[in-house]
Amino acid sequence: ALEPLRSKEPGWTSLEQSLMVAGWSVEVEFSGYTANGGGPGSIIPLYPRDPLTNETANDPVMVSGLYTWDNIDVEGVRQQGKQWKFESKEEASKILKKATRLMGADLVGIAPYDDRWTYAS
Protein backbone atom coordinates (compact mmCIF):
# COMPACT_ATOMS: atom_id res chain seq x y z
CA ALA A 1 0.00 0.00 0.00
CA LEU A 2 1.19 3.51 -0.75
CA GLU A 3 1.81 5.96 2.06
CA PRO A 4 -0.01 9.29 1.87
CA LEU A 5 2.18 12.04 0.40
CA ARG A 6 2.28 14.06 3.60
CA SER A 7 2.74 11.11 6.01
CA LYS A 8 6.17 12.35 7.18
CA GLU A 9 5.04 15.93 7.95
CA PRO A 10 4.07 17.04 11.49
CA GLY A 11 0.32 16.69 11.89
CA TRP A 12 0.04 14.04 9.18
CA THR A 13 1.71 10.97 10.72
CA SER A 14 -0.40 7.85 11.14
CA LEU A 15 -0.58 8.55 14.89
CA GLU A 16 -2.01 12.03 14.33
CA GLN A 17 -4.39 10.77 11.64
CA SER A 18 -5.59 8.08 14.07
CA LEU A 19 -6.36 10.77 16.65
CA MET A 20 -8.28 12.75 14.01
CA VAL A 21 -10.34 9.68 13.09
CA ALA A 22 -11.02 8.97 16.78
CA GLY A 23 -12.20 12.53 17.30
CA TRP A 24 -14.69 12.31 14.46
CA SER A 25 -15.80 8.71 15.04
CA VAL A 26 -18.84 9.49 17.19
CA GLU A 27 -20.12 12.07 14.70
CA VAL A 28 -19.44 9.95 11.64
CA GLU A 29 -20.59 6.57 12.96
CA PHE A 30 -23.19 7.17 15.65
CA SER A 31 -24.85 10.56 15.23
CA GLY A 32 -27.74 9.07 13.30
CA TYR A 33 -27.74 11.80 10.69
CA THR A 34 -24.48 10.92 8.99
CA ALA A 35 -24.28 7.21 9.88
CA ASN A 36 -24.92 4.63 7.15
CA GLY A 37 -28.66 3.98 7.09
CA GLY A 38 -29.01 7.19 9.18
CA GLY A 39 -31.68 8.62 11.41
CA PRO A 40 -31.55 9.04 15.19
CA GLY A 41 -31.17 5.70 16.95
CA SER A 42 -30.94 3.87 13.63
CA ILE A 43 -29.63 0.38 13.09
CA ILE A 44 -26.53 0.31 10.87
CA PRO A 45 -26.22 -2.41 8.20
CA LEU A 46 -22.77 -3.99 8.01
CA TYR A 47 -21.40 -6.59 5.64
CA PRO A 48 -19.02 -8.57 7.87
CA ARG A 49 -16.03 -10.53 6.62
CA ASP A 50 -15.46 -14.20 7.32
CA PRO A 51 -12.17 -14.28 9.28
CA LEU A 52 -11.22 -17.64 7.73
CA THR A 53 -11.84 -16.79 4.06
CA ASN A 54 -11.82 -12.96 4.16
CA GLU A 55 -14.98 -13.00 2.01
CA THR A 56 -17.55 -10.27 2.54
CA ALA A 57 -21.05 -11.44 3.42
CA ASN A 58 -23.77 -11.01 0.78
CA ASP A 59 -26.44 -10.14 3.34
CA PRO A 60 -26.08 -7.32 5.85
CA VAL A 61 -25.96 -7.88 9.58
CA MET A 62 -27.87 -5.16 11.39
CA VAL A 63 -26.02 -3.81 14.41
CA SER A 64 -26.40 -0.72 16.46
CA GLY A 65 -23.21 1.22 15.72
CA LEU A 66 -22.17 2.15 19.23
CA TYR A 67 -22.26 -1.43 20.45
CA THR A 68 -20.54 -3.27 17.62
CA TRP A 69 -17.40 -5.37 18.16
CA ASP A 70 -16.54 -5.32 14.46
CA ASN A 71 -12.78 -4.89 14.04
CA ILE A 72 -12.59 -5.11 10.24
CA ASP A 73 -10.95 -1.69 9.82
CA VAL A 74 -8.47 -2.25 12.65
CA GLU A 75 -7.53 -5.69 11.35
CA GLY A 76 -6.90 -4.24 7.88
CA VAL A 77 -4.44 -1.69 9.26
CA ARG A 78 -2.75 -4.37 11.38
CA GLN A 79 -2.35 -6.70 8.40
CA GLN A 80 -0.75 -3.89 6.37
CA GLY A 81 1.82 -3.38 9.13
CA LYS A 82 0.78 0.25 9.60
CA GLN A 83 0.17 0.27 13.34
CA TRP A 84 2.08 3.01 15.15
CA LYS A 85 5.31 1.95 16.86
CA PHE A 86 6.04 3.92 20.02
CA GLU A 87 9.69 4.45 20.90
CA SER A 88 9.14 3.54 24.57
CA LYS A 89 6.48 2.62 27.11
CA GLU A 90 6.83 6.11 28.57
CA GLU A 91 6.14 7.73 25.20
CA ALA A 92 3.10 5.49 24.68
CA SER A 93 1.76 6.32 28.13
CA LYS A 94 2.23 10.08 27.64
CA ILE A 95 0.56 10.13 24.20
CA LEU A 96 -2.35 7.85 25.18
CA LYS A 97 -3.08 9.87 28.32
CA LYS A 98 -2.97 13.15 26.38
CA ALA A 99 -5.25 11.73 23.65
CA THR A 100 -7.83 10.38 26.10
CA ARG A 101 -7.95 13.69 27.94
CA LEU A 102 -8.40 15.46 24.59
CA MET A 103 -11.36 13.13 23.89
CA GLY A 104 -12.96 14.06 27.22
CA ALA A 105 -11.64 11.62 29.82
CA ASP A 106 -11.35 13.06 33.31
CA LEU A 107 -8.96 10.50 34.77
CA VAL A 108 -6.62 8.26 32.79
CA GLY A 109 -4.56 5.33 34.04
CA ILE A 110 -2.67 2.43 32.52
CA ALA A 111 -2.79 -1.00 34.15
CA PRO A 112 -0.71 -4.11 33.53
CA TYR A 113 -2.13 -6.45 30.87
CA ASP A 114 -4.19 -9.36 32.21
CA ASP A 115 -5.63 -12.11 29.95
CA ARG A 116 -8.75 -12.30 32.12
CA TRP A 117 -9.78 -8.83 30.90
CA THR A 118 -9.70 -9.77 27.22
CA TYR A 119 -12.92 -10.96 25.60
CA ALA A 120 -12.55 -14.14 23.59
CA SER A 121 -15.52 -13.38 21.33
Read off the pLDDT of residues 93-105 as tens digits, 9 standing for 90 and up.
999 999 998 888 8
Burial of 44 per CB tally in 10 Å (0-12, 13-18, 19+): buried
28-78 pLDDT, tens digit each: 666 554 545 555 445 555 677 777 888 888 877 665 555 556 666 677 777
Measure the CA–CA gap between 82 and 31, rounded to whole angstroms. Answer: 28
Where are the domains positioned within the chain?
14-85
